[in-house]
Homo-oligomer: A and B are copies of this chain.
């Protein structure tokens, strides 16, 4: 069996953790499997390098940032190879140049294009454990690129696809995907299985287990993922096309506090106003999530929408600058909101779910500010202070802990 295993930066942060991971790797190797391992940069290495760059330049060029940052993963794989050799097993580390991991040209946020498998296959044939730098690639100018946040997950999935691996295991800080954040909901239950689409909703809703791009790629190439912890022996969560559990209407509840609401009040009720408004924001690369339009007074309309809090300042500034052109009366901002979402692949065919969700919040006395739905999720915008209570209420209403 060929297994691809990915470990994040905190899993290889120091000597003890490196040897812990080395031993996990060896379990599979000793059992006769071929093992390809993807590693991120150690613990704070990337942050330290970012700090160094910041000292030199307020806005360093992205090409040189990638040249700088890609050293972090190279250090990780070299150290892990040494650890495996110390334990008496053959290993070889490879960076993006050595693997032939080609990407698009965009520095800082490149997309993987192709992986040459010859070198990896040759090292596996020599019975080596193969350690590969995550997060990085080489573009057509023969320069290092990096894949953006969560890039090492994508590297692992792409390798699993290219090598036709039998398994792709993503080791993280948590031991799987839960029906809700276990810190908020005491009886949250770990899911045995989840579909790619559900995982995508979970990821975009703030459950930072897997990066969206890696899940999209896994879906595209049909790579079955296992999410599990490097620190425990617990079985993880399998991410796949279709889950076996037929009746699983609802998988879990997530709460995202990185949300702010902006309302543009008193727009003239004319065609093209929404387009004008949102093209302003897309020019600044600001993602808008929930959008709500309502009729205002005297032939005007109001448009409310949510953005990530880190984009709030820039969004408001841009709107204020163009207030006159937009013909808006005023811009209102609410920073203290949260988005609570219910995710489930079986949701689309069952109309009672939204009602049950609203009822749960009504019973808890929580006011709903905005509503947004998709095929497999329902999101509600509420006051930030109610976020945990709402999560628990919804989790209970749908009996997600599995208790009767």
Chain A interface (Cβ < 8 Å from any Cβ of B): 15, 18-19, 49, 52-53, 55-58, 60-61, 63-65, 67-68, 70-72, 74-75, 77-79, 81-83, 85-86, 92-93, 95, 97-98, 119, 142-143
Q: Are the CB atoms of B71 and A75 closer together than 8 Å?
A: yes
Contacts of A77 in B (CB 8 A): 67
A124 to chain B, nearest CB (A): 16
Nearest-CB residue, chain B, relative to A61: B85
Q: Are the CB atoms of A81 and B93 closer together than 8 Å?
A: no
Contacts of A75 in B (CB 8 A): 49, 52, 68, 71
Contacts of A58 in B (CB 8 A): 86
A42 to chain B, nearest CB (A): 9
Q: Top 10 A-B pairs ranked by shortest CB distance?
A: A71-B71, A68-B78, A67-B78, A60-B82, A57-B86, A97-B97, A57-B82, A64-B81, A56-B82, A64-B78
Cross-chain pairs A/B with CB under 8 angstroms, 30 sampled: A15-B55, A18-B56, A52-B75, A53-B78, A53-B79, A53-B82, A56-B86, A57-B86, A60-B82, A60-B85, A61-B81, A61-B82, A64-B81, A64-B93, A65-B78, A67-B74, A67-B78, A67-B81, A67-B93, A68-B75, A68-B78, A68-B79, A71-B71, A71-B72, A71-B74, A71-B75, A97-B97, A97-B142, A98-B143, A119-B142
A73 to chain B, nearest CB (A): 9
Contacts of A78 in B (CB 8 A): 53, 64-65, 67-68
Number of identical protomers = 2
Add 18 more A-B contacts to A58-B86, A61-B85 (CB < 8 A): A52-B75, A53-B79, A53-B82, A56-B83, A57-B82, A57-B83, A60-B86, A61-B81, A63-B92, A64-B85, A64-B93, A65-B78, A67-B78, A68-B75, A68-B78, A71-B71, A71-B72, A119-B142
A26 to chain B, nearest CB (A): 15
Give Cα A74 to B18, complex, Å: 24
Give Cα A55 to B42, complex, Å: 15
A173 to chain B, nearest CB (A): 23
A217 to chain B, nearest CB (A): 26
Contacts of A63 in B (CB 8 A): 92
Give Cα A166 to B61, complex, Å: 30
A281 to chain B, nearest CB (A): 29
> Which residue of A53, A61, A82, A86 has the most chain B CB atoms within 10 A of its CB atom?
A82
> Which residue of A56, A72, A74, A85 has the most chain B CB atoms within 10 A of its CB atom?
A56
